[in-house]
Amino acid sequence: MQAKLKVSRYDPETMGQGQQRWDEFELDVHPNATVLDALIQIREEVDGTLALRCACRASICGSCGMRVNGDAKLVCKSRIADVGEEGATIVVEPMGNQAVIKDLVVTLDTFFDKVRQVDPYLQPDSEPEQGEYVASDESMVNLLTAMNCIMCGACVSDCTVLEVDEAFIGPAALAKAWRFVEDPRDDQRDARLEELNDVEGGIWDCTRCFKCVEVCPKDVAPMDRIMEMRDMAIEAGNTNTSGYRHTESFNKSVKKHGRLDEARLAVESAGYTNVPRLIDLAEIGVKSVLKGKMPPIVPHKADEKEKITRIFEKVESERGS
């Protein structure tokens, strides 16, 4: 079969950082060929200067992460026949949110700097009684989800928060944090949760866009792990954050009115004692009024809001609230 590839190129010796050009290639490949197979064929038969990174070619090492048609993938497991319609051009570029070294190769410095922020190692308070720390089979099965991570960086590449906020710890590192929070051999669970709750760029900065879940090749589902740590942090008593206040305000307004009270949500998320943030919100409110975008001070009630309230009450009852 014939494959058409449009490949991003960057050469630090001839181009400035952030610049790129696009080269297009057409070649005959095996019907079961992967994107990596095609790229290697280009390098070996067409353009020997093409830079790419790969190793195991079996979706184990994670080194061949790239963006294919806009989404991060391991190109060794992405068959050309599966990533686009027959005859369509496949766009290949380096992963996002990380500096490009050359062509399709990125540095993973940012990725590992984020991982180091979460203390990725066990921190027991005492020595084991019999030479090693023992974990139950059930606990290890629970940890397998996060332990499946192969550190490929796909989730970091497509994280929409990291695109605008470099302080965000990121999905991969937070999934790694969950792995140690859940490990029964670690004795710093509460301290870890408190830090991740309070630190800038911690668990409350995730916007739940699902991109990390969609692109993870090993079903680690980092966003789900982050949401679980939010619940853990609240249960551990960490409630003095805008994230927690946002959650509570959201729940209260939907339960009461059947819809979101946007004006109250912004104020209650900031906190009534956070004067600098309230001043910022006041300025935003004035601009919104002038643009005709200000939500109503007295929120509208949803049709049949009583049904929504009953749903909330049923869920709270089942949870024992």
* Digit-coded pLDDT (tens) for 140-183: 999 999 999 999 999 999 999 999 999 999 999 999 999 999 99
**What pLDDT score does 138 carry?**
94
List pLDDT tens digits, range 224-279: 999 999 999 999 999 888 888 888 888 888 888 888 888 888 888 888 888 887 88
**What pLDDT score does 314 carry?**
87
CATH superfamily, with its number, for domain 2-106: Beta-grasp domain (3.10.20.30)
List pLDDT tens digits, range 263-320: 888 888 888 888 887 888 888 888 888 888 777 777 777 788 888 888 888 888 887 7
Least confident of 64-73, 134-143, 311-320: 311-320
DSSP summary character for residue 76: G
Cα separations (Å) of 147 from 74, 95, 110, 140, 238? 18, 22, 20, 9, 26
Beta-carbon contacts of residue 51 (< 8 Å; ≥ 6 apart): 101, 102, 103, 104, 105
Task: Please determine, for residue 115, whether its predicted confidence score (pLDDT) is greater than 90.
Answer: yes
Cα separations (Å) of 287 from 272, 276, 277, 280? 21, 17, 16, 11
Closest of 310, 295, 305 to residue 257, by C-alpha: 305
Q: What is the mean pLDDT of residues 123-133?
A: 86
Closest of 188, 160, 173, 157 to residue 220, by C-alpha: 173
State how far the Cα of 73 lies from the Cα of 52, in Å rounded to an integer.
14
Count H helices and E strands in the chain, helices first: 13, 7
Q: What is the mean pLDDT of residues 123-138?
A: 88
**What pLDDT score does 321 carry?**
53
Residue ranges covered by each domain of the chain? 2-106, 109-235, 242-319
Beta-carbon contacts of residue 242 (< 8 Å; ≥ 6 apart): 204, 269, 270, 271
Question: Can you tell me whether residue 316 is helix, strand or coil?
Answer: helix
Task: Please determine, for residue 23, whether its predicted confidence score (pLDDT) is greater than 80.
Answer: yes
Beta-carbon contacts of residue 281 (< 8 Å; ≥ 6 apart): 266, 267, 270
Q: Which residue has the tokens 């540095």?
A: 107
CATH superfamily, with its number, for domain 109-235: Alpha-helical ferredoxin (1.10.1060.10)
Please tell me the pTM assigned to this model. Answer: 0.85
**What pLDDT score does 134 carry?**
85
Tokens, residue 41: 């064929």
